[in-house]
Amino acid sequence: MLTIDDLEHSLQETKLTEVEPDLWPFCLFLLAARQRYLAPSYVRKQIKAMQQSDQLKPGFLAQSCLIIHKRQQLGICPTITLAKLARRASLRDSAELIARALLNQQQTQSWPATGNITPLPAKLLRALLRWPEQTGLLERVLEILHSQPRLSTQLCAQATLFTEQTKTLSLKPALLLLGPERSRELLLLSHFETSLTHPYFPLRESLLERRRLMNEVLLKLQQQFDWQFPCRIELLTYLLIYDCWRHSKWTTQSTWTVDSRYPVTSINHWLLTKRPLKGHWAKRLVRYWQLPLQINNLLVPESKQVSQQKAALELAIACIHYTDDPHQALKAPLKACKLTAEDYAKLVELSMIETGHFSPLPQATY
Percent of the chain topping pLDDT 90: 18
pLDDT at 53: 79
Residues 91 and 185 reside in one and the same domain:
no
Residues 350 and 211 reside in one and the same domain:
yes
Q: Is residue 364 part of a domain?
A: no
Residues 228 and 340 reside in one and the same domain:
yes
The total of other beta-carbon atoms located within 10 Å of residue 241's CB is: 20
Name the band, by pLDDT with cuts 50, 70 and 90, for residue 307: confident
Q: Is residue 129 part of a domain?
A: yes
Residues 50 and 184 reside in one and the same domain:
no
3-state helix, strand, coil in the chain (%, to 5): 60, 0, 40
Non-local (6+) Cβ contacts of 133 within 8 A are: none
Total number of domains constituting the chain: 3
CB 68 within 8 Å of CB 98? yes
**What's the rounded Cα separation, in Å, for the pair 275 and 251?**
13
Residues 222 and 326 reside in one and the same domain:
yes
Average pLDDT along the chain? 80
Residues 187 and 209 reside in one and the same domain:
no
Which of 106, 136, 168 represents a domain boundary (last residue)?
106
Average pLDDT of the residues in 72-81: 85
Which letter does DSSP use for residue 168 in this model?
A: P
Residues 155 and 212 reside in one and the same domain:
no
Which of 106, 138, 159 represents a domain boundary (last residue)?
106
Res 191 pLDDT > 80 = no
pTM: 0.65
For 232-249, how does the pLDDT look when each residue is reduced to its tens digit (9 = 90+)? 898 999 999 988 888 888
Residues 157 and 89 reside in one and the same domain:
no
Residues 51 and 132 reside in one and the same domain:
no
- Which range of residues forms the domain containing residue 236? 204-355
Residues 136 and 162 reside in one and the same domain:
yes
For 97-115, how does the pLDDT look when each residue is reduced to its tens digit (9 = 90+)? 888 777 766 543 333 333 3
Which of 106, 136, 160 represents a domain boundary (last residue)?
106
Residues 215 and 320 reside in one and the same domain:
yes
**What's the rounded Cα separation, in Å, for the pair 126 and 184?**
10
